[in-house]
Structure 1
Amino acid sequence: MDYWIQRYQSSRPSMKMEIIEMDVPCNSKCLESTEFRSLLENETFRSRIEVVDSLVELVREQVRTLKREIQGRMGEFEGDLDSLTFTIYRLVEYGGNTSLGERLTFEGRTIASGSFQDLVNVNKLIERIRMDPDIKSICDEIRYLIEALWEHFEKNMVKIQ
């Protein structure tokens, strides 16, 4: 068991959070499909991974909330809502710019396509939404929860013996 715990601690197994594509520590469901599934039999480990499970679910709920809020602000948006949510989250938390050409893109993802004027209008909406204090607050909450997940991993998941 010590061997697996040491391997787990050094490899830091992670998964991508849906839509926003941020790395978070593997939850118990994720671990079930890895070489570390036997660790789930350890009661101490299991109790600590339950905190990861709860935090992952909180992040997912906040991402769903962000997506719903963006959808509500976009009206009759006919582009990729997941790519739009990814874009707005990343713009709020890390900055950057969309690219306007034949399509409206961000980091290689197509947000929308259509006439140039339609793309300009979508881009203006994105700028307005990214400055919205409620949207900023949701994005910040997502970032804080992800940081809390990694902090829990560092402080609690690495001390299992």
Structure 2
Amino acid sequence: MTTHDTELIMRAVAVTGTRSTGHRRLDEYAGLFRDYLGPFAAPDAHFYIGGAKGIDSMSLIWLAGNTPAAITIVVPGRIDQQPAEARQAIARTRERIKEIVELGASELKAPAYHARNRWMVDRASMTIGFPHHAEESSGTWQTLNYTRDQGKPRLIVPV
């Protein structure tokens, strides 16, 4: 994809990915984010990120520290229900977060996470996903498949 191609895509990007990230070093993730999020992170870009641990928290920290892009965090319930790692990442980057959306789900089960994922994809023009396994039942793959079903582009970066 060339710079011209990325400029043709409206710069609203949903980011999804595995919570299981211990199999790679942090610098490897930073390199992946530089290579695959960086080209879309212009000053007029907007990233929608789920407020979970793993790829969500790591991509939030990378985007906040390395790009001028706007960032929206989306959680299925409330921020205080998120894992400690995710709450810490949000607190650490709060001044760079444009908006936090708490969808207010009463139960934090699969339907609430699927609703969060659809909310992000519905507002994005594309999705960049970082799945750990080829298992299509994961939330990452559910989000990527929903993106496909909406006729939107998706970039899949296996981790």
Q: TM-score, structure 2 length as denominator?
A: 0.29
Name whichever structure is richer in helix by fraction.
Answer: 1
Q: TM-score, structure 1 length as denominator?
A: 0.29
* Bigger radius of gyration: 1
